[in-house]
Amino acid sequence: MPSIFISHSNQDNAIIEPIVQQLREAGMGVWIDYENIRGGAEWLCEIEAGIARCEAVLVILSQASAASTWVKRECLYAFQLQKPLLVALVADLLIPLHLINLQYCDLRASQGMTKLLESLRALSSAGEEAAYAHGSVSETPLESNFFPYLAQLPQGDIVALVAQDLYAFAQKNADAVDFGGQKRPGFHARLQAGRRRITWFSVWAYRKQPALQIARAAGLQSPAFGKGRSTIPLRNLHNAESLEGLKSLLLDVKSRIAL
């Protein structure tokens, strides 16, 4: 059964809880923010990771969610990742423009939940044919499938969040970021050094232990990594202190490359 990301307004929690319960009773996996975001976690990264790992996004559409900027952002992010998106109507209102062409079920109707479950099961059946298998490697690593792939690996929740944080860092600070690899997918932060473009660092989806790797060409020499060490398991970067410390070291490497 599919894993469903619930996009909603927290003003509707009382309405949503029985819906979530029925989905779970039907065997659906459900991701919802008030259960899945840990205290102290970075909200935006957790939301992005939740959408990336899900098989479909279900928008609980009410007056409050229709007016919510965050619900709209979640929908647009789901569109960007090409996630199936369904609408469950719980109030009398016009469908917002960005959702108007999507399939929807009116949960106020007697057969509304039945139709919703049928739609979700149909998505699951279609996805089994199109999706890459659990534990396999995508032949064309892209932003849209790299992070869901990481989430399947050991300690996937942690490593996928760390990788997404590093990807955002790379987009902000590198001259280019690209995905590549087949047997070992990864993304690579590149820097322009004169006429050469060199790899600054890479994040690799090693099956046993996803890791960040500082390219030897970057010339990293820091005692924080240990003598000669240039590969760091992503699971070791699970707290904010270690992750921010790594970023500081990477920026130091960048400054020396630019000299």
Alpha-carbon 256 to chain mean position: 32
State pLDDT tens for residues 185-214.
889 999 988 888 888 999 988 877 889 998
pLDDT bracket for residue 130 (50, 70, 90):
very low
Sign of CA dihedral 101, 53, 108, 123: positive
Of 56, 106, 47, residue with least CA distance to 79? 56
Alpha-carbon torsion, ordered 232, 237, 243, 245, to 10 deg: -60
- How far is the C-alpha of 153 from the C-alpha of 151, rounded, in Å? 6
The segment with the largest mean pLDDT, out of 39-48, 144-153, 183-192, is 183-192
d(CA 251, CA 173): 8
State the Cα–Cα distance between residues 221 and 47, nearest whole angstrom. Answer: 35
Model pTM score: 0.50
